[in-house]
Amino acid sequence: MLDETSVAALWWAVIFSGVYHGINPGMGWPLAVSAALMERKHTALPRALGLLAVGHFLAMIGILLPFSLMIVLVEWEVEIRVGAGLLVIAMGTYLLINRRHPKILARVHPARLALWSFLAATAHGAGLMLVPIFLGICAIGADETGHLAAQALMGSNVTIAFAVAAAHTFAMTLVGGVIATVIYFWLGLRFLSKTWFNLDILWALSLIVVGAFGIYSALYGH
């Protein structure tokens, strides 16, 4: 079973992945700035950020919940975690090779920010990044086997899935909101278009790193 330090490190990984998504303009905060500028209302900014957060949270839950239910297969826990890690690595490799954004994202009207956020997070594999971390947090102890382990897992993993998605989404929204506020009130979209850097390569590489960490944690973490 993972010790408290390892579990705390995994929760911090959830937070930092949210911070990273908050910094990444691909997760939508420029749309919040644009919506506020178009409506010419300060209240439009937090409303847009809230809609983005809802969409992102649903995308995270959509990925994590199936894994929270799969973990009841206690005997296959390590295999599931390794498979999840390989899936994340494959997604990172694909994004590294294919640099084009899915065309469907360009067809979603910015007013539908929750839907846009859900599609963007899903297409970029944002939820997949959390899977190896989530499975590590849910790791069972060596003395928990059979029905005892299944009972413990079914009683807590769905709650943990929601907690992980919520913590991640909160960190993303907080960081993205701070950046959007600074851009909206002081710097403007012109500054954004001239100075912001593309994080696509870093995002793809980070998926590969997280996937490799998940596999290592599954095989050697406990």
pLDDT of residue 67: 79
The residues near 118 (Cβ < 8 Å, ≥ 6 apart) are: 55, 56, 58, 59, 62
Q: How much is the pTM?
A: 0.78
pLDDT of residue 144: 47
pLDDT of residue 146: 46
Q: Are 217 and 131 in contact (CB under 8 A)?
A: no
Query: What is the rounded CA–CA span in Å between residue 129 and residue 18?
Result: 10
The ranges assigned to domains in the chain are: 4-220
pLDDT of residue 70: 66
pLDDT of residue 183: 86
Query: What is the rounded CA–CA span in Å between residue 78 and residue 221?
Result: 10
pLDDT of residue 222: 53
pLDDT of residue 46: 94
Which parts of the chain have pLDDT scores under 70? 1-2, 70-75, 77, 99-111, 139-155, 189-200, 221-222
pLDDT of residue 100: 65
Query: What is the rounded CA–CA span in Å between residue 153 and residue 30?
Result: 39
With H, G, I as helix, E, B as strand and everything else as coil, classify residue 187.
Answer: helix
